Structure 1
Amino acid sequence: MTSTRSAEIRCQTFGPIQVHYDGRVLTPRPWTVLQSHWAAELAARSSPGPILELCAGAGQIGLAAAVLSGRDLVQVEADPVAAEYAWHNAAAAGHGAQVQVRSAPMQHALAAGERFPLVVADPPYLSTADIARWPEDPVTAIDGGADGLDLTRVCLRLADTHLTPAGVLLLQVAGEVQARAVVALLATPGGPALRHVETRQHDAERAVMLLARSTVSAR
């Protein structure tokens, strides 16, 4: 993020909550509330435990799911400005006592023994060559590396490590083409022990994948 971005606070309705943010943080995309509702549906039939949100940004996707489902929530966000907004938004929604925000790179934010029945992730998924299409967005919030999957790979590894045996991951991707690339990653020998269950596509460039454990593990 750069210091030239506006710090004027904005507010947006996002499902059951109000989201506060400014120009230093990725603007909430209204369509992503679909991921929140899907997560709440899954949480209603999941085993006990908090939802884990990776790449939380201002926290709206995981927070809306937690409010809808009444679940506790652990949010991980590397950018301290976005993490501060996640704290604020949880408190403003009356859910602050049930939300823990960890401002750290996601590779270092979780303890070895932590397990979650549901992981929600919206990693930066644009290829570096594509980020110029979105000049108003903070680069770190949208740049997914040369193939757009750098942070997605991290999310997959962390879900593999930190899901409960019957846990699931809801992962945002850049449409059906990137969804197929994720399926290919899962088929790679030694890759995450996850399997594709379903993809819900919003449009050609936006989709959410449901991934589950491919085997029952004693983790």
Structure 2
Amino acid sequence: MPETDIGGLAIAWDRRVLEPRPWTAEQAQWLAELAVDAPPGPALELCSGAGHLGLLLTHLTGRPLVQVDVDPVAGEFARANAARHGIATDVRTASMDEALGEDERFALLLADPPWVERARIGDFPDDPVRAIDGGDDGTALARLCLRVAEAHLLDDGVLVLQVGDQGQVDRIAADLDALAPRLRLVDCRVRERGALAHFVAGSPLTGAVGALGAVGAVGRGLVDAQKGHPQP
């Protein structure tokens, strides 16, 4: 069975799930840095796959962890990888809009949903379709992640969301008031292999005003230039 080193953690996986890529560790590492100013409380990982990013986040922060993925095989890998490293996690195999109790709240949220545009899925024949299919424009699952964050992040809670490119960040930001009015887009990092968007939860008014400001800020060049097509 193959293994990949993710931030110092050996992560087991096979071709039934999306291969953990070492470069994705930046997402968990960035959220761990942001956690210093976040409220106390547990962490939530959506679309957790083999569990590597959530496990790295908890390894770095010590926060209690809930991981959600609709794929039972991914859930098995997440549990096995957690046990191997002695990390406690609550892995839930369910769709993200059904996995959480109405009153559950989280201080940190990590989400790496499928973000490949459906027309480009054939460009990645080694990856399971369900693990990369982001719908027509690549943002369908990312938008659902934002709705979950809207409902379950504590005030001042932090979300780091991975999507495919700057264009996807811009489309999500433009619709943020309708999707998740409590969230505001604070920062964005665009890399050759995807984009990371940093959101903070607050009141609906704060979220709406922050989203408008962030769209302008991103347009002024807060992000690195993207190069070519990203790899999921």
> TM-score under structure 2 normalisation?
0.85
Tell me, which stretches of 5 or more residues in structure 2 are unaligned?
206-232
How far off its partner does 1:25 sit?
0.6
Mapping of 1:78-97 within 5 angstroms? 78-95=70-87
> What does 1:12-31 correspond to in 2, within 5 Å?
12-31=4-23
Aligned residues between the structures: 204
Report if aligned partners of 1:16, 1:67 keep a CA contact under 8 Å in 2.
no
TM-score (norm 1): 0.90
**Which residue of structure 2 aligns with residue 208 of structure 1?**
196
Which structure 1 segments of 5+ residues have no match?
1-8
Large movers: runs of 4+ above 4 Å:
none
Q: Name the amino acid aligned to 1:89.
A: N
Cα deviation for residue 216 of structure 1 reads 6.4
- Out of 1, 8, 11, the position equivalent to 2:3 is 11
1:100-150 deviation line (CA, Å, top 9, x unaligned): 100111111000000001110000011100111100000000001111111
Letter paired with 1:210: H
Aligned residue number for residue 48 of structure 1: 40
* Local SS of the residue matching 1:195: strand
Question: Which letter maps to 2:114?
Answer: P
Between the aligned partners of 2:111 and 2:7, the Cα distance in structure 1 is 17
The question of 1:64 aligning with 2:70 is answered no
Partners in 1 of 2:202 and 2:63 — Cα distance? 25
Q: 2:187 corresponds to which residue?
A: 198
Cα pair 1:165 1:216 within 8 Å, conserved? no
1:76 is paired with a residue whose SS is strand
> Partner letter of residue 200 of structure 2?
A
| Aligned residue identity for 2:116 | L
Q: Secondary structure at the match of 2:50?
A: coil
Higher mean alpha-carbon deviation, 122-131 vs 36-45, is at 36-45
1:60-139 aligned within 5 A: 60-95=52-87, 98-139=88-129
Q: Is the 8 A contact 1:51 1:71 kept in 2?
A: yes
Q: Secondary structure at the match of 2:37?
A: coil
For residue 208 of structure 1, give the secondary structure of its aligned residue in structure 2. Answer: strand
**Residues 59-85 of structure 1: per-residue CA shift (max 9 Å, x gap):** 001110110111111000110001100
Q: Which residue of 2 aligns with 1:4?
A: none
Give aligned-pair identity as a percent. 46
Which has the larger displacement, 108-117 or 35-44? 35-44
Counterpart in the other structure of 1:180: 170
